Amino acid sequence: MKPPSSTSLASPSKPAGGTKAKRRDISVRFCGIAGDGVVTCGRILAGACASLGLDLMVNDIFSAEIRGKGKSTTTVRFSSRIVHSMGDGVEVLVGLAGKESIEEIKDVRPGGCVIYGSSIPGDLPEDDSLAAHVPPNIHGFGVPLRKLANQATGSNQGKNIVAMGALCYLYSLPQEAFIEQLRKNFGRKSSRALEVNIKAFTLGFEYCKEHYPLSFELEVLDTLEPRPLYTGNDALAHGALDWGLKFFAGYPITPATKIMEICAKELPKNGGWTIQVEDEIAAISNVMGAFFAGKRAMTSTAGPGLSLMSEMIGLAVMAEIPAVIVDVQRGGPATGMPTKVEQGDLNIALYGGAGDCPRVVMAPSTVRECYTGIQLALDLAEKYQTPVIFLSDLFLGQRMVTTSIPKRVERDRCTRKKPFPGELGTYERFKITEDGVSPLLIPGEEGGFYTITGLEHTPSGNPNFESNVHSMMTEKRYRKMKAMCVDLPPADVLGDKDALIGIVTWGSTLGSVVEGMELAREQGVKSKVLKSIMINPQHEDSFREFFASSARIIVPEVNYEGQYAALLKSRYGIQPVEMHISAVDPVSPAKIANRIIEVQDELTH
């Protein structure tokens, strides 16, 4: 690998004579009201950076409103090193909506910059002026976004693209990479759309060139290859599609809708179908019907939808019908915060429903795991005839990252345990077996008949409320959870294997933990983390071994009551240091690092 290319630089924090280091890790936040095109900005910047081979992560934070008062932000962190999380603070704030961006300034790091619109019509009161809130240790760049957008598009639309042009100049990013992204984004719509957007971009670029000729410079490694970009929702949908998914039923809900949209588009290409049904109750019903008929099926939802589905999930457990339910978690309870992240659905996933109701619960930590994990989920559901609740979250689902995904494609994948020819004729739908899994005959196949039901039943499927039958059948359903351990991946230990501080976490929090561990290591404190996609059941031995080798255990998670810590305590009898992060934004690596160091201090004293 060649060293980074280097030319002269003007450091913004130290205007002159300061350090000559180029920026290598930058976070840019676009803030606007919904409709300002904040997301488009994020996509274009991410696309451009990925094409330059930079590692990056994009996070969108929306309000639930479409237009009007609601604010949304997109933050893009890009670096010539690996990006594990969104990090702490941002380098650049682009205020597409001035007033709404004011509160974002607190996240801008000293020496960073704020790009604000300087052609807002009318008298702008001081309190509403973004420029008025820029402290002296941050550079403010006024750009007439609205005016230039008007010049380019004839309307107020296109402020975002003007701002992209400004950003491109100010950070000396290669223009062509952006123009290429504009082509990708607008080229399909119409040649006029492309033309006006390129014009808007160029106007923003030229404006800054004329008014702020001194630009910052970024380290771009020459040898980097262009990188593909995925969101967790993309990866998840494609993972399922590549792994034999044939049917999808769902109901729109933020932040899961995208999965359905992808399936709607892709499934018919392989003989599958997506149906948007009237509610989540209908969605889970459809999925169970399809699995019953022998097709791999899935639904995706968020907390409120999962709540609605609880009753049907009980039926799926009882009737041993496979179902894959993706829950892209958002802030709860009830309608809660549809556009904010929280890891609060663990309990309903584990325990929601009536009766003794065993089900599989999984939680991916990375975008890559969204892909591989959903494939495992489909396999487990079909093989073990059980509902699988797959807990993604808003942050994992919607943020975009550069990642490499090892494609695994098997479009007719089937893990159904089929009956032996010898069993046919005396076929029992719920036959008692060693692993609890009964061979499954599907409609259309010859060899037997059955009726499934939500009532307790005998191995043949007949309703039966006798105590010993209920015990036997309950025991059978729980036995499947133990049996599937042979198919589960072992848990991984990351970080310093010899460290005494061990961290166990779940879901998307892992990225911030890994970066927090690196920050702590820079201060001389070593730690390790156990990474496991399985919540229930788990590879219990690897957990016990990890706990035994750690003097203190930290369990960080984004919910109020420590739902995962509660599970670990009851399952393994440990007494961990719990970190209940009340966050609607991505978890701060600095906070994780501080906690590691605090725990280290406690250990040494």
Partner 1 sequence: MRYVIVGTGAAGATAARTIKRMDRDGEVVIIGDERFFPYNRYLLTEFLSGAVSAAELFHTSEEFFEAMDIRLRKGQAVERVYPNDKTIRFAHNEVMSYDRLLIATGRSPSLGPVLRPYAKLIQRYYTFEDILLIQKRLPEVREVIVSGRGLSALDLIQGMYRVGKKITYITRGQAIDVSTVESHLMGDLDSALAEREINFVHDDRIVAIECVDNRYLVKTFQGKELWGDLVFAWDNYTPNVGCLRNTGIEVKTGILVDLRMRSSAPEVYAAGDCVEIYHPTLKNYWINFGWPNAVEQGRIAGKNMAGDNEEYQIHETTLFNILGKPLEARWWD
Partner 2 sequence: MSLLTKRHVIEGLQRAKTNKAQQHRDVLPTWCPGCGHFTPLQGVYEATERLNIHPKNLVLVSGIGCSGRFPFFVKGFGFHSLHGRGIPVATGIKIARPELTVVVAGGDGDGVGIGGGHFPHAARNNIDITYLLLDNSIYGLTKGQVSPTSPFGMISATTPYGNIGYPLNPSTLALTYGATFVARVFSRDRDECTEMVTQAIAHKGFSFVHVLSPCVEFNKFVTYGSIRETIAPLPSDYVPDDHVHAIQYAESASPVYHGVLFKTAKPTYSDHMQTVFEKMKGSPTN
Partner 3 sequence: MSETSDALFVAEPERAHLTSTDVLDRKWIDVNIPCKAACPVMTDVPGYIQAILEGDFETAYKINRRDNVFPHSLGRVCNRPCEPACRHGREGLGEPVAICHLKRASADFGYTPLDLEIVPNGKKVCVVGAGPAGLTAANDLAIKGYQVVVLEQYDEPGGMLRYGIPQFRLPYDVVAADVKSITDLGVEIRCNQRIDSEAQIELLKREYDAVILSGGCMLPSSVKLPGMDAHGFYWGLDFMMQANRELLNDIKLNKVVVIGGGFTAVDCTRTSYRLGASEITLAYRRTKDKMSAGEPEIDCMEEEGIEMEFLVSPVEILAKDGKVTGIRLVRNRLEEGKPVAIPGSEFVIECDAVIMAIGQTNEDLPGTKEVPEVNEVPQKDNFFLAGDFRNGSGTVIEACADGRKVARRAHQYLSGIKGYQDVVHIEEIKLDQLPRTREDDFIPLTTMPHIPVSERLAKNREVETGYTRELAQNEARRCYLCHYNFQIDIDRCIYCMACIDAMPVDCIKLAKDIDVGADGSLRYVSAAHWEEAQAITIDNDKCIRCGNCVRACPVDCISISKYTLETVEVE
Euclidean distance between the first and the last CA atom of the chain, given in angstroms as a whole number: 45
Residue 119 or 185: the one with the smaller Cβ distance to partner 1 is 119
Q: Least Å distance between CB 19 and partner 1?
A: 12
The angle at the Cα of 549, spanning 548 to 553, to the nearest 5 degrees, equals: 80
Residue 13 or 276: the one with the smaller Cβ distance to partner 2 is 276
Q: Which of 151, 254, 474, 542 binds partner 3 (CB under 8 A)?
A: 151
Nearest to 141 by CA among 71, 197, 74, 211: 211
Q: Which of 137, 155, 270, 426 binds partner 3 (CB under 8 A)?
A: 155
Report CA-CA distances (Å) from 221 to 57, 82, 398, 466, 489. Answer: 18, 13, 27, 70, 36
Q: Least Å distance between CB 265 and partner 2?
A: 5
Residue 200 or 263: the one with the smaller Cβ distance to partner 3 is 200
62 makes contact, choosing from partner 2, partner 3, partner 1, none, with CB < 5 to 8 Å by partner type, with none
Cβ proximity of 519 and 593 under 8 Å: yes
C-beta atoms surrounding 444 within 10 Å: 7
Residue 121 or 443: the one with the smaller Cβ distance to partner 3 is 121
Q: Least Å distance between CB 34 and partner 3?
A: 13
What phi, psi does 36 have (nearest 5°)? -75, -10
406 makes contact, choosing from partner 1, partner 2, partner 3, none, with CB < 5 to 8 Å by partner type, with none
Residues 6+ apart with CB under 8 A from 9: 20, 21, 22, 216, 217
Residue span binding partner 3 (CB under 8 A) among the ranges 115-123, 313-321, 386-394, 458-466: 115-123
Residue span binding partner 3 (CB under 8 A) among the ranges 116-124, 372-380, 461-469, 568-576: 116-124
150 makes contact, choosing from partner 2, partner 3, partner 1, none, with CB < 5 to 8 Å by partner type, with partner 3
d(CA 315, CA 325): 14
Residue 131 or 590: the one with the smaller Cβ distance to partner 3 is 131
Q: Is 563 helix (H, G, I), strand (E, B) or coil?
A: helix
Nearest to 351 by CA among 535, 507, 475, 490: 535
Q: Which of 121, 125, 406, 444 binds partner 3 (CB under 8 A)?
A: 121
Q: Least Å distance between CB 70 and partner 1?
A: 24
578 makes contact, choosing from partner 2, partner 3, partner 1, none, with CB < 5 to 8 Å by partner type, with none
Q: Which two tokens stand for residue 243?
A: 């792994």
Which residues does residue 139 pair with via DSSP β-bridges, in sequence order?
113
Residues 6+ apart with CB under 8 A from 348: 303, 306, 307, 310
141 makes contact, choosing from partner 1, partner 3, partner 2, none, with CB < 5 to 8 Å by partner type, with partner 1
132 makes contact, choosing from partner 1, partner 3, partner 2, none, with CB < 5 to 8 Å by partner type, with partner 1
Q: Which of 119, 254, 276, 462 binds partner 3 (CB under 8 A)?
A: 119
Residue 340 or 595: the one with the smaller Cβ distance to partner 2 is 340
d(CA 57, CA 514): 15
Q: Least Å distance between CB 78 and partner 1?
A: 24
Cβ proximity of 257 and 290 under 8 Å: no
Q: Which two tokens stand for residue 463?
A: 């309703």
Binding site residues, partner 2, CB under 8 A: 35, 64-70, 251-254, 257, 260-261, 264-265, 268, 274, 276, 278-279, 334-335
- For position 125 contacting partner 3 by CB under 8 A, the verdict is no
d(CA 208, CA 227): 29
Binding residues for partner 3 (CB under 8 A): 119, 121-123, 146-147, 150-151, 154-156
